[in-house]
Structure 1
Amino acid sequence: MANGQRDEERARRLTAWGRADRKLSAPAATETVGRQLERLAADAAAYGLGNRTDLYGDGVVETLEDRVSGLIGTEAAAFFPTGTMAQQVALRCWAGRTGNATVALHPLAHPERWERGALPVLAGLRTVHPTTEPRLPLAEEIRALDEPYGTLMLELPLREAGFVLPGWDELAEAVAAAREADAVVHLDGARLWECAPHLGRSLPEIAGLADSVYVSFYKSLGGLSGAALAGPGSFVAEAKAWRHRYGGLLFQQWPVAVSALAGLDRELPRLPSYVAHAKTVAAALSEAFGAAGTPWFRVWPQVPHTHEFQVWLPYPADTLNAAGVRQAEETGRVLFRTWDDGSGPPGVSMTEVTVTAPGLEWTAADVAAGVTDFLERVRD
């Protein structure tokens, strides 16, 4: 497919999703610049429109850093423009402190899949994999590593495996196994905010297992962008020095900081309700696909661990994407968004489902009706 045609199809999808009045979530990419500015202005009013803007990370950015460290129970936190930069800096700092440049992590983790080999190229780090199973590594697998490593990185939840989480005891045992090897533990907590219901522990308890934690402000909280790296005060101070070296000390960041603070106020308290309702949506999808006689399907995990999960269907991605756009345009209803057929066997495609505030209005019957309507368009 030519780039021009791909761009046209993407624009059509985003327009259809933006105009739809029934959806399970409302990603920022479907909103206009004007609507985003209206929301930002409204959010800024809560944080003092008369206050001066930040300069190189002071003011409202420091307010955000203090808020994050207070929420997850660490000594300090540093704002970063991207999570990619935050994690590279964290792992680089720990390599220097431990004297070991090897990082143990899952091969599906973000640095391995989405950062273009940045760990070895930029920081001189190398990686080892305790497991290739589509889940977090177990304590016995961590103990079985046959070479020393300085840092164990755990992604909570592991997105590429279906936003999966371990149980609390499994997580604690995995951390203990790393401690036995004199390694530090870093949490990729981009989506840490929604992990508490499944793990049955508070955010400070979860973060307290690790030596450092990264969190995102846009993946679950609806912020414009940005991330924070949290941990001991001396570690965060060092991370800020590397942030400067990496070009992450921006002149002004107040729009991102304001949107992140608003997300902490507005979305964080609602995440447990999203996680709970995702279970209703997932069960309704499974029942509806089965009732429709779908030749093969998978909702994974069957009971979601967070408010996000995967759906797999035995059709080409182009077919499913076209059906989804038509459903949005003709009915004003968005059940599924972008499908991908490059992550599984031939003829099988996968999409990620996210349930946020708009999705709370969907009953199981609404989901079933949406599936029936969607599959009719697929078969057409």
Structure 2
Amino acid sequence: MRRLVAAAPDAYDLEQPVDMYGNGIVAELERRTAELLGMEAAAFFPTGTMAQQVALRCWAARTGNATVATHPLGHLEVHERDAYAVVSGLRTVHPTAEPRLPSAEEVADLGEPFGTLMLELPLRDAGFVLPDFDELTATVAAARERDAVVHLDGARLWETTTHFGRGLPEIAGLADSVYVSYYKSLGGLGGAALAGPASLVDEARAWRHRYGGQVIQQWPVALAALVGLDQELPRLPEYVAQARVVAGALREAFAGVGWFRVHPGEPHTHQFQVWLPYAAQELTEASVRLAEEERTMLFRRWREPAGGPPGVAMTEVTVAAPGLQWSAQDVREAAAAFLRLLTPPG
């Protein structure tokens, strides 16, 4: 909040009216978001879950098909309590269950019709993974061949430009619509946007009202988002590069553990997974002890994913501005201190 207040004069003239039911600063945020993504228009939503539901139901009405092809590890399936079915009357099919985005062949061979192909970029629960740009282009083309529209769950789309080697308009331009988050990657207080053709966004605004998203004032969230676009968005490629340094140092530090994984080996974004052969509680307690005793925060909470191998836990690592201060040697030393707090396996 202190950073937000300090940066506010550069992000928006607060001598102007802030917002009332989505005008003022919220309208400016929508304009800038659409411009950054190369889309005709964008609508602000209080949550990404709401933005996704509205986008998918609008496309279902337009295509005449309420089936969404998506990934079983996607946010839609894992983190939204089946809202697409319970609230919006949609159903899903899965071109693949592999821990990656679907290929063009899998989309082309899917055994039933679908109206929308939804792609989460990056696929968070598979390890923040991305295809290469040619693969993504082919997958989108396969959906078009099946007369489907393409929607991007781009909560973290902001950080994909390094991996793809493309700008945001070229990436977003592959799809018919895209959702982006203002707090994931950008460090905002919350909020999201749905961007796409002006006619779709106009329709989405009507559904936003019906879903309870027409909030009287949201200027603190919108202001934080503008600050994030100004300050964090330009730094994301730097974070991605540093994440690769951190991941490499962790691989070296854990070489004597036996089985472990840093996934992906070279991170696609500034976030990645670490897997170790210990119980989640022991790893979380060691993370806290390291912070207390060494004043070093290397990892946060660990968990044992459902369906994963027994006795193995995973945590997610995010490299942002504080991580830029760490050298590879700093990471190796912190990881060694962390391992000393664990009971040797076996």
Which structure is richer in relative contact order (CA contacts within 8 A, separation 6 or more)?
Answer: 1
Shift of 1:184: 0.2
In terms of mean alpha carbon deviation, does 343-352 or 174-183 score higher?
Answer: 343-352
Q: Which residue among 287, 290, 293 is the counterpart of 1:327?
A: 290
Partner of 2:73: 108
Amino acid at match of 1:330: E
In the aligned structure 1, how far is the partner of 2:6 from the partner of 2:202? 33
Q: Which residue among 6, 14, 25 is the counterpart of 1:49?
A: 14
Q: Which residue among 174, 189, 203 is the counterpart of 1:238?
A: 203
Q: Could you list the per-position Cα deviations for residues 16-52 of structure 1 after superposition, in whole angstroms to 9, with x for gaps in the alignment?
A: xxxxxxxxxxxxxxxxxxxx2x223223222123122
Partner of 2:194: 229
3-state SS, counterpart of residue 268 of structure 2: coil
In the aligned structure 2, how far is the partner of 1:44 from the partner of 1:187? 30
Shift of 1:341: 1.3
Partner of 2:158: 193
Shift of 1:295: 2.2
Write out aligned runs for 1:302-313 (5 A). 302-313=265-276
In the aligned structure 1, how far is the partner of 2:56 from the partner of 2:116? 7
Q: Which residue among 305, 330, 336 is the counterpart of 1:342?
A: 305
In the aligned structure 2, how far is the partner of 1:372 from the partner of 1:40? 36
Report the TM-score when normalising by structure 2: 0.98
Shift of 1:147: 0.8
The answer to whether 1:92 aligns with 2:57 is yes
The answer to whether 1:362 aligns with 2:330 is no
In the aligned structure 2, how far is the partner of 1:224 from the partner of 1:348? 33
Q: Could you list the per-position Cα deviations for residues 328-365 of structure 1 after superposition, in whole angstroms to 9, with x for gaps in the alignment?
A: 01111011111001342110000000000110111110
In the aligned structure 2, how far is the partner of 1:127 from the partner of 1:302? 31
Kept in 2: contact 1:43–1:258 (CA 8 A) = no
Partner of 1:141: 106
The answer to whether 1:168 aligns with 2:121 is no
Kept in 2: contact 1:152–1:185 (CA 8 A) = yes
Where do 4+ consecutive residues of structure 1 move more than 4 Å? Answer: none
In the aligned structure 2, how far is the partner of 1:366 from the partner of 1:214? 36
In the aligned structure 2, how far is the partner of 1:129 from the partner of 1:49? 47
Amino acid at match of 1:40: L
In the aligned structure 2, how far is the partner of 1:357 from the partner of 1:199? 22
Q: Which residue among 208, 211, 214 is the counterpart of 2:173?
A: 208
Amino acid at match of 2:322: P
In the aligned structure 1, how far is the partner of 2:43 from the partner of 2:114? 25
Shift of 1:309: 0.2
Stretches of structure 2 lacking an aligned partner (at least 5 in a row): none
In the aligned structure 2, how far is the partner of 1:360 from the partner of 1:41? 24
Amino acid at match of 1:325: V
3-state SS, counterpart of residue 87 of structure 2: helix
Amino acid at match of 1:88: Q
Kept in 2: contact 1:154–1:186 (CA 8 A) = yes
Amino acid at match of 2:45: F
3-state SS, counterpart of residue 187 of structure 2: coil
In the aligned structure 1, how far is the partner of 2:279 from the partner of 2:216? 45
Report the TM-score when normalising by structure 1: 0.89
Q: Which residue among 140, 146, 152 is the counterpart of 1:181?
A: 146
3-state SS, counterpart of residue 221 of structure 2: helix
The answer to whether 1:266 aligns with 2:231 is yes
Partner of 1:376: 340
Amino acid at match of 2:265: Q
Q: Could you list the per-position Cα deviations for residues 194-249 of structure 1 after superposition, in whole angstroms to 9, with x for gaps in the alignment?
A: 00110111100001100000000001000000000000000000000000000001
Amino acid at match of 2:277: P
Computed over aligned residues only, the root mean square deviation of the Cα atoms, in angstroms, reads 0.8
In the aligned structure 2, how far is the partner of 1:146 from the partner of 1:295? 42
In the aligned structure 2, how far is the partner of 1:362 from the partner of 1:166? 28
In the aligned structure 2, how far is the partner of 1:43 from the partner of 1:200? 30
The alignment of Structure 1 onto Structure 2 pairs a total of residues equal to: 342
In the aligned structure 2, how far is the partner of 1:73 from the partner of 1:49? 27
